[in-house]
Chains A and B, each alone.
Chain A
Amino acid sequence: MQILTAENIKKSFDGTKVLNGISIGIEKGEVLAIIGPSGSGKSTFLRCITQLETVDSGEISICGETLVKNDASGKAVYADRASCVKIGLHIGLVFQNFNLFPHFSVLQNITEAPIRVLNKSKEEAESTAHALLKKMDLSDKADAYPCQLSGGQQQRVSIARALAMNPDILFFDEPTSALDPELTGEILKVIRSLASEHRTMVVVTHEMKFARDVADYVVFMDNGTIIEQGRPDQVFENAQNERTKAFLSRFNEG
């Protein structure tokens, strides 16, 4: 069963079409990589699924629950607010620039949502948080504040924060773009290890080698449409579309 389906998603900003009919489906345990040039709509698509933007038309279902579908006139109609919130809890998102809460310690960044949103006890939330920090190799940083951490460490905390909510699908919006190459590796390593645990993940990334190695399925977007998709070897070695070939060749040169 598909854990996420998005059907013909369209989105414009002030008359500029950003998403021009995007459809994807993800199976449980699969890693989907979305690649493509800047401005192709990758991040906007992610933001639509994570409810940070609303779609103009199209259908999105997550874990069998319908977030949005078209009415008779083809305009998007969202589920009621309570359902949207509930559906949102199936999803975790890791941002490009972390967006940790600077006034909270690392531990509190991770426990705040489980305590306030999921009504977990402080003890339970903290023991989960400590386990996640251990997994992220940050056990000694529980009491630190985000400003005392390196970018890579901050990003690992933000992954732990997302995981603490135990999401069914974890989304990454260019998780290494704000990091220098040295720190990029540590984040990719974490995502790899999550993939090996068969976590369902959608990763928007510019790291082609990573996408190729880790993803089960790759989608290439350009100008708000998917112009190539398939298994990594199909997309990377046997691209059909000229635009994809041109884009990938630039990476292969580098």
Chain B
Amino acid sequence: MNYQMLLTQMLEATLMTLRIFFVTLIFSLPLGLLVAKGRMTKIKVINLPVKLYILLMRGTPLMLQLLFFFYAFKPLFGIQLDRVLAAEVAFVLNYAAYFAEIFRGGIEGIPRGQHEAAKVLGFTRRQTFFRIILPQVVKHIIPPMGNEFITLVKDTSLAQVIGIVELLKITSNWVSSAVDMTPLVIAGAFYLIMNGIVTRCFTVAENRLGYYR
């Protein structure tokens, strides 16, 4: 087995894994916050479709969603999404639904007195949310967010169902063409390293926010 070629290809494929990981986070975190707001509003026209969206995203396999955005999008909407774009759309929409529920839990967990104190002091709703509520929410949702980030690193491997060559796909190509399990071990190490870094970041964030309560 040509290990130099193996490693080069695996590193290249890891770039795709990382790309899906970061694109998903960049878009699904703010979207998740918006969805959480929509889920919590009392306005039915907003809150019912949002509930349906969350049900669809959490109630069907992510793999199905990947296949949908790549294969079913064109017959339905007349636009063919590029493989990577289809994958990113599926990941963003899927993770936003999970993030939304985490945000909602965090926001609803902030005592009502915080809102009341802010209101009596004259803060606008926007100031109250961004200055008073959200910073406290972030502290409280770090543990469940850590879970999701770690799951996302591993979930990127699902993108191979629509022909995207990410870390696990290139690994299985090598394993199936040679009777050598080394690539699997290396891939496992790659995932562990990535999630080790994710875990480290969350530990640092948790410590930084540990100065109160």
Spell out A's residues near B (CB within 8 Å): 50-52, 85, 88-89, 91-93, 95, 97, 99-103, 112-113, 116-118, 145-147, 158, 161-162, 165
Looking at A51, A97, A103, A118, the one whose CB has the most chain B CB atoms below 10 A away is: A103
Given known contacts A95-B116, A117-B123, what 10 new A-B pairs fall within 8 Å (CB)? A52-B116, A52-B120, A93-B117, A99-B111, A101-B118, A103-B212, A113-B121, A145-B211, A146-B212, A165-B122
Interface residues on chain B, number (Cβ under 8 Å): 20
Contact segment of B38-46, B72-80, B130-138, B178-186: B130-138
B59 contacts A by Cβ under 8 Å: no
B114 contacts A by Cβ under 8 Å: yes
The distance in angstroms between the C-alpha atoms of A117 and B127, with both chains bound, is 9
Within the complex, what minimum Cβ distance (angstroms) separates B19 from chain A? 34
Within the complex, what minimum Cβ distance (angstroms) separates A147 from chain B? 5
Query: Is A103 within 8 A of B136, CB to CB?
Result: yes
Query: Is A99 within 8 A of B117, CB to CB?
Result: yes
Query: Is A112 within 8 A of B131, CB to CB?
Result: yes
Query: Is B135 within 8 A of A103, CB to CB?
Result: yes
Query: Is B127 within 8 A of A52, CB to CB?
Result: no
Query: Is A99 within 8 A of B127, CB to CB?
Result: no
Which residues of chain B from 105 to 126 have a CB within 8 Å of any chain A CB? 111, 113-114, 116-123
Give chain A residues whose Cβ lies under 8 Å from the Cβ of B118.
101
Give chain B residues whose Cβ lies under 8 Å from the Cβ of A100.
117
Query: Is A117 within 8 A of B122, CB to CB?
Result: yes
The distance in angstroms between the C-alpha atoms of A165 and B118, with both chains bound, is 12
Query: Is B213 within 8 A of A116, CB to CB?
Result: no
Query: Is B122 within 8 A of A95, CB to CB?
Result: no
A-B contact pairs, 17 of them (CB 8 A): A50-B120, A51-B119, A51-B120, A52-B116, A91-B120, A93-B117, A93-B120, A99-B114, A103-B135, A103-B212, A113-B122, A113-B123, A117-B121, A147-B212, A158-B117, A162-B121, A165-B121
Using CB atoms, name the residue of chain B closest to A96. B113
B154 contacts A by Cβ under 8 Å: no
With contacts A99-B114, A99-B117 known, is A88 near B122, CB below 8 A?
yes
The distance in angstroms between the C-alpha atoms of A88 and B121, with both chains bound, is 8
